[in-house]
């Protein structure tokens, strides 16, 4: 039977790459985002792959709008089997330069948007006793970095919310599965349209991966019933190194985290951003870092192919190496 998959934040970036990846697997795809024009274009591309698609314009910060979107998608495509939360909005800049209203808006989209999507999915999946919810997370859900306090705070909150819900599903004996995919830096349009209060243009902290790597992990997670899927060596090293030496990473990121997130180009004065309304234009999955982005993750392939002993040894060695390198750089 053809699966029905819903993806929030589907107009561009990881959401768009994920929609195409599920479509190539033969799934019917429901797309949710704010910009109607971009959604329609994404839907047309998916339909060219020979599957059904339903696009619904909605802001994930509006719980009632997401509930209506879920109803519209089920009326068009059938019962939802997989719900993927990936919509986000953020601000690059120091805490002192971000207003309370900007924090509120970023939190409503990036955290409460996941809550709203999860609630809409649960209302449909729990009575049917089937379904999977995929929360697209980040290494920053475990290890926060400077200049991204709003985003990091939201990702930490998503992880806490998801862990709590896991316990409740187990208590209820529900077979509905919820999983998180923790991503590394990804080459998406986020770095072109996010609100920026830094002096230079933002960039993902290398190593950078293409959105198709993230999409492969999300499609895998939707069927694997894993608790979490970690993608990329940087995600693995950040999570494990933070477990071993969080104070050292505080010092290391305080020394390096500002420069590593900015290019040499000055920030564009008066540039449009997507915090309160979508940026006009048909953005695809990729950002402007194609020449620096990797199209494959060895650690993801190890995880997918279930090489647990080799993976565990590699992760331990990587974490130890990261801590040692951080110490050397701080001493230097």
Which residues contact residue 324 at a Cβ distance below 8 angstroms, ignoring those fewer than 6 apart? Answer: none
Is 151 an annotated catalytic residue?
A: yes
Of 111, 114, 142, 151, the catalytic one is 151
Q: What's the 3-state SS for 16-69?
A: HHHHHHHHHCCCEEEEEECCHHHHHHHHHHHHCCCCCEEEEECCCCCHHHHHHH
Overall fold of domain 4-265+282-331: Rossmann fold (3.40.50)
Specify the DSSP class assigned to residue 10. T
Q: Where are the domains of the chain?
A: 4-265+282-331
Give average pLDDT by consecutive 10-residue segment, the chain, 332 residues. 92 97 97 95 96 98 98 98 98 98 98 98 98 98 98 98 98 98 97 96 96 98 95 91 92 96 92 92 92 92 70 62 67 64
Angle value at C-alpha 214, between 282 and 287, nearest 5 degrees: 35
Location of structure tokens 């709203």: 116
Q: What is the pLDDT of residue 242?
A: 93
CB crowding 146-173: b at 16 or more within 10 Å, else e: bbbbbbbbbbbbbbebbeebeeebeeee
> In whole angstroms, what is the distance from residue 49 CA to residue 234 CA?
33
| pLDDT, tens digit (0-9, with 9 covering 90-100), for 59-73 | 999 999 999 999 999
């Amino acid at each position: 039977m053809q699966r029905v998959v819903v993806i929030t934040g589907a107009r561009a970036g990881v959401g768009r790459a994920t929609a195409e990846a599920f479509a190539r697997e033969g799934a019917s795809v429901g797309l949710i985002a704010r910009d109607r024009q971009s959604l329609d274009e994404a839907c047309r591309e998916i339909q060219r792959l020979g599957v059904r698609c339903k696009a619904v314009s909605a802001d994930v910060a509006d719980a009632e709008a997401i509930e209506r979107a879920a109803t519209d998608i089920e009326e068009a495509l059938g019962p939802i089997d997989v719900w993927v939360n990936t919509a986000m909005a953020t601000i690059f800049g120091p805490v002192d330069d971000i207003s309370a209203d900007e924090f509120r808006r970023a939190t409503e989209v990036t955290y409460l948007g996941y809550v709203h999507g999860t609630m809409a999915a649960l209302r449909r999946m729990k009575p049917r006793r089937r379904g999977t919810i995929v929360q697209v997370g980040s290494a920053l859900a475990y290890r926060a970095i400077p200049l991204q306090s709003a985003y990091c705070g939201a990702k930490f909150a998503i992880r806490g919310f998801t862990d709590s819900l896991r316990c409740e599903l187990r208590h209820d004996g529900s077979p509905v599965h919820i999983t998180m995919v923790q991503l590394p830096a990804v080459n998406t349009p986020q770095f072109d349209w996010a609100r920026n209060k830094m002096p230079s243009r933002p960039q993902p902290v290398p190593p950078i991966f293409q959105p198709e790597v993230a999409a492969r992990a999300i499609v895998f997670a939707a069927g694997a019933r894993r608790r979490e899927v970690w993608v990329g060596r940087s995600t693995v090293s950040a999570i494990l190194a933070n477990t071993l030496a969080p104070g050292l990473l505080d010092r290391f990121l305080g020394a390096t985290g500002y420069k590593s997130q900015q290019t040499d180009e000055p920030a564009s004065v008066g540039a449009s951003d997507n915090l309160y309304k979508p940026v006009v234009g048909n953005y695809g999955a990729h950002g402007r870092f194609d020449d620096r982005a990797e199209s494959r993750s060895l650690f993801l392939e190890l995880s997918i192919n279930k090489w647990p002993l080799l993976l565990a040894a590699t992760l331990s060695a990587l974490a130890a190496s990261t801590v040692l390198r951080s110490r050397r750089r701080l001493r230097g």
